[in-house]
Amino acid sequence: MSDNAVVTEARRRRTFAVISHPDAGKSTITEALALHAQVIGEAGAVHGKGGRKGVVSDWMAMEQQRGISITSAVLQFAYRDCVVNLLDTPGHADFSEDTYRVLTAVDCAVMLLDAAKGLEPQTLKLFEVCRHRRIPVITFINKWDRPGMAALELLDEIETRIGVRPTPLTWPVGIAGDFHGVIDLRADHMVHFERTPGGSRAAIEEVVAAPEAAARYGDDYGTAVEEIELLAASDQAHDQKLFLEAVTTPVLFGAAVANFGVRQLLDVLIELGPPPSPTPDVSGEPRPIEAPFSGFVFKMQANMNPAHRDQVAFLRVCSGRFERGMVVTHGPSGRPFTTKYAQAMFGSSRDTIDEAYPGDVIGLVNATNLSIGDALYVDRKVTFPPLPSYAPEHFAAIRTTDTSKAKRFRKGIAQLDAEGVVQVLYSDLRGEQAPVLAAVGPMQFEVAAHRLQQEFSVPVTVDSLPFSMARRTDANGALALRGAPGVETFTRARDGAVLAAFPNRWRLQTVANDHPDVPLEPLLADTDQAATPAG
């Protein structure tokens, strides 16, 4: 295939993540977008109400039981003349590391805000990560069919608290909780929404011209027009250049559970969302879209389908044309890797894929030799920047209660470590039979225990440890700190790094003063400090 053909295909790609605070409706809007693209026929609410199957992106049993997203998922589908790679991410802060890794694999993000709650802590953190990585953000103010804040108040909060100028593309007619529809500022007409029974299908839309909308909705429409005029006077019109530079954020209003405003969001993603651009390598040099094939692994996931017991590496294609069966080079080892089992992902469903282009996310099955951050390439070697790794704030010792399953326990722990579900640490003090799990949030320990039980039939106990931060040291430092009160040293299974764990900052400072020659380095790279503070 010619270079021009690869570039043409890449321009058709839109790869974006949906991110938000928990309970903002993220998985629901992911499913609603797929519904409007006509790749599923009926939407189920997050808990599968009305006898319908739950959201297609929440495939893990624990997700379906709790109605939350625990791991990221990929939905790939066609819409208009584009190929959409939609990545649903966990909203809960305990799983933020998975979200941050996903953000390295997208070109754009949709940020969901709850109309009643506005900017919440996790939302603020994710906005900061997007800005740090210069990821353009489209904001969708959700749940406008319920009581909430005033529209202008929400825009003011976005601008004052995160410093990004909101530029509305749709504007609600009616206050939150009394939602008639939206004025489409780009088309200069109103769209009235009517919910289908149970909200299981796309909302019925009626285009209403301005004179008729004024007559039908009276003061509500008049107020909306006045607010739009006020915004125009404040220079809050959309500017594509500023949006792509992550200076502004286009804003749309809707209600995902009723499928209101979802088509408008999908159209904006296609029309304004950026296609893939050249990906910088570790030296900062961009690898051209038309260069020979390259990509990087941003996620590992095992046992998505319990019947198969396989391991899938999620790979973002960065350049060139991918062909199933092609032999590529595994960057870290320099060894050949055959891509015989390549699949397009749609939640837990998978179909064999024969080709893919820059921007696509594909699943490489039974990729046991791959790890998060690994590059695969053809021809000229490429090494992409390391994916962010975040300092753990919670630690727990884990052991199996059935010693006859010790081998299976070790296999399961190794699997969870490879996927980045937790960081696995070992120490001479505890031995291999009692590894220590380190995580950003304690719910990650629940996931680890649940998966060991469900996927490996290994019962475990998890005991919290009194540590809240870790620092990198070395073998000599570990010897010097042996026996220090309140301090424990470990070797990280993933990379052999030697870590020292502390109960709090005061103990860390005391130890640092008592042992000035012992290296105690933060676990975060400087480039990631702006996104998330070190532990």
pLDDT digits (tens, 9 = 90+) for 369-399: 888 889 999 998 999 998 876 788 899 999 9
Residue 180 shares a structural domain with residue 199: yes
The verdict on residue 387 lying in a domain is no
**Average pLDDT in the 282-302 region?**
91
Residue 463 shares a structural domain with residue 351: no
Residue 318 shares a structural domain with residue 414: no
Residue 511 shares a structural domain with residue 365: no
**Average pLDDT in the 302-328 region?**
81
Residue 18 shares a structural domain with residue 144: yes
Per-residue pLDDT at 197 exceeds 80:
no
In the block, residue with structure tokens 């570990």: 478
Per-residue pLDDT at 25 exceeds 50:
yes
**Average pLDDT in the 222-245 region?**
92
- 112 and 24 Cβ atoms separated by less than 8 Å: yes
User: In the prediction, which pLDDT does 371 show?
Assistant: 86
The verdict on residue 384 lying in a domain is no
Domain boundary among 344, 377, 410: 377
* Band of pLDDT at residue 199, cut at 50, 70 and 90: low
Residue 21 is assigned to a ligand binding site: no
Per-residue pLDDT at 128 exceeds 60:
yes
User: In the prediction, which pLDDT does 477 show?
Assistant: 94
The verdict on residue 386 lying in a domain is no
Identify the DSSP state of 267. Answer: H
* SS3 category, 258: helix
Give the least confident one: 95-104, 235-244, 304-313, 455-464.
304-313
Identify the DSSP state of 388. Answer: P
**Average pLDDT in the 75-102 region?**
76
Residue 186 shares a structural domain with residue 267: yes
- 424 and 364 Cβ atoms separated by less than 8 Å: no
Domain boundary among 345, 377, 409: 377
Best-predicted range by mean pLDDT among 48-57, 191-200, 263-272, 360-369? 263-272
Residue 354 is assigned to a ligand binding site: no
Percent of the chain at pLDDT exceeding 70: 85
User: In the prediction, which pLDDT does 333 show?
Assistant: 92
Q: Regarding beta strands 82-88 and 73-79, do their DSSP bridges make them parallel or antiparallel, or are they unpaired? A: antiparallel
Per-residue pLDDT at 191 exceeds 50:
yes
Domain boundary among 221, 244, 272: 272
Per-residue pLDDT at 196 exceeds 60:
yes
User: In the prediction, which pLDDT does 171 show?
Assistant: 97
- CATH code for the domain in which residue 498 is found: 3.30.70.3280
User: In the prediction, which pLDDT does 334 show?
Assistant: 93
Residue 312 shares a structural domain with residue 179: no
User: In the prediction, which pLDDT does 533 show?
Assistant: 35
Give the least confident one: 141-155, 257-271, 394-408, 521-535.
521-535
The verdict on residue 27 lying in a domain is yes
Residue 442 is assigned to a ligand binding site: no
Neighbours of 492 (CB within 10 A): 19
- CATH code for the domain in which residue 144 is found: 3.40.50.300
User: In the prediction, which pLDDT does 39 show?
Assistant: 67
User: In the prediction, which pLDDT does 398 show?
Assistant: 94
Residue 349 shares a structural domain with residue 497: no
The verdict on residue 197 lying in a domain is yes
* Band of pLDDT at residue 345, cut at 50, 70 and 90: low
* SS3 category, 19: strand
User: In the prediction, which pLDDT does 94 show?
Assistant: 47
User: In the prediction, which pLDDT does 37 show?
Assistant: 75
Comparison of pLDDT for 360 and 235, the residue scoring more: 360
Q: Which of 294, 342, 302 is nearest to 321 (CA)?
A: 294
The verdict on residue 476 lying in a domain is yes
Mean pLDDT, all residues of the chain: 85
Segments forming the whole domain that contains residue 364? 279-377
Comparison of pLDDT for 241 and 493, the residue scoring more: 241
Tens of pLDDT, residue by residue over 485-535, are 999 999 998 889 999 999 999 999 999 999 999 999 988 543 343 344 333
Per-residue pLDDT at 45 exceeds 80:
no
- 435 and 452 Cβ atoms separated by less than 8 Å: no
How many independent structural domains does the chain possess? Answer: 3
Comparison of pLDDT for 201 and 172, the residue scoring more: 172
**Average pLDDT in the 299-308 region?**
65
* Band of pLDDT at residue 138, cut at 50, 70 and 90: very high
pTM: 0.80
Residue 250 shares a structural domain with residue 164: yes
**Separation CA 242–CA 246 (nearest Å):** 6
User: Which residues are within 8 A (CB) of 392 and not within 5 positions of it... i.e. 6 or more apart?
Assistant: 423, 438, 439, 440, 469, 470, 523, 535
The verdict on residue 534 lying in a domain is no
- ∠280-129-105 over CA atoms, to 5°? 45
**Average pLDDT in the 123-134 region?**
81
The verdict on residue 388 lying in a domain is no
Residue 289 shares a structural domain with residue 424: no
Comparison of pLDDT for 527 and 34, the residue scoring more: 34
Residue 89 is assigned to a ligand binding site: yes
Residue 363 shares a structural domain with residue 398: no
Residue 92 is assigned to a ligand binding site: yes
Residue 241 shares a structural domain with residue 306: no
User: In the prediction, which pLDDT does 348 show?
Assistant: 59
Question: Per residue in 409-433, is it b (16+ CB within 10 Å) or e — as a string?
Answer: bbebbebbbbbbbbbbbbbeeeeee
Per-residue pLDDT at 64 exceeds 50:
no
Give the least confident one: 22-26, 233-237, 507-511.
22-26
Distances (CA, A) of 476 to 150, 488, 489, 500: 59, 14, 11, 12
Per-residue pLDDT at 247 exceeds 80:
yes
